[in-house]
Amino acid sequence: MAIWDVDAQECVKALHGGHHGPVQCVAASWGVGKALSGSMDGGVMLWDLHTGTRIPMQGHMVWVADVALDPDFRYGVSGSIDGMLRVWDFRVNSCVRTVRNRWGDVKCLAVEWDTGKVLSGNASGGLTLWDLVEGRLVGFLETAGACRDVSCVAADWDAGCAVTGSQAGEMAMWDLKGLECVQVWRAEDPQPGGFDPEVKSIALAQVGS
């Protein structure tokens, strides 16, 4: 783990130890100086970015593919490739809810903290919508094979839409109210210069009124 000064373009602190495998994902709550990380060893670690101390969060047994952290540092969510979603309560530093996706793995996730809704992407190219407050499945969103192996997701919950990226270089737009895929874009194949088409991360921004 490392903390970077973007303006100075340099590493200002390295956080050592904790995980026994490669760190796959990290989320930070900058207001309180905390971070949550997930690893291929199945570990989830809560970090104090000021002191470098860490607390292991016990629960996952396999590769943790994505984590999310409440900006107010109340809760965290993690997902692993065996389909497990875990909700962490940082007041007690333990898992308070577990949901199992029996229809696929969890490769990425997006959380609406006010309602407890979570979108998780999987290797089949679809999304699963969860209500983690009630611990139930809300619905599936599929592309009928038009998109494969979702690797990242970003959601605009107010607008009721999401965008995903895939390992095959595809991007898809989703209607969260109608629970359907509305558009798919594909990268050129093959890529010029041998460029890897995989979409590794994605973000949404509101422009204008």
* pLDDT the model gives residue 153: 95
Provide CATH code, domain 1-100. 2.120.10.30
3-state secondary structure 171-182: EEEEECCCCEEE
107-209 and 1-100 share a CATH fold = yes
Task: Tell me the pLDDT tens digit for each residue of 67-110.
Answer: 999 989 999 999 999 999 999 999 999 999 999 987 789 999 99
C-beta atoms surrounding 131 within 10 Å: 14
Identify the pLDDT of residue 45: 95
Q: Where are the domains of the chain?
A: 1-100, 107-209
Question: DSSP per residue over 186-207, as a string?
Answer: E--SSPGGG-------------
Model's pTM, two decimal places? 0.89
Cis peptide before 190 (omega within 30 of 0): yes
Look at residue 87 in the predicted model and tell me its pLDDT: 96
CATH of 107-209, one of 3.30.450.190, 1.10.1660.10, 3.40.50.300, 2.120.10.30: 2.120.10.30
Q: Could you tell me which residues come within 8 angstroms of residue 157 by beta carbon, excluding any fewer than 6 positions away? A: 112, 115, 117, 176
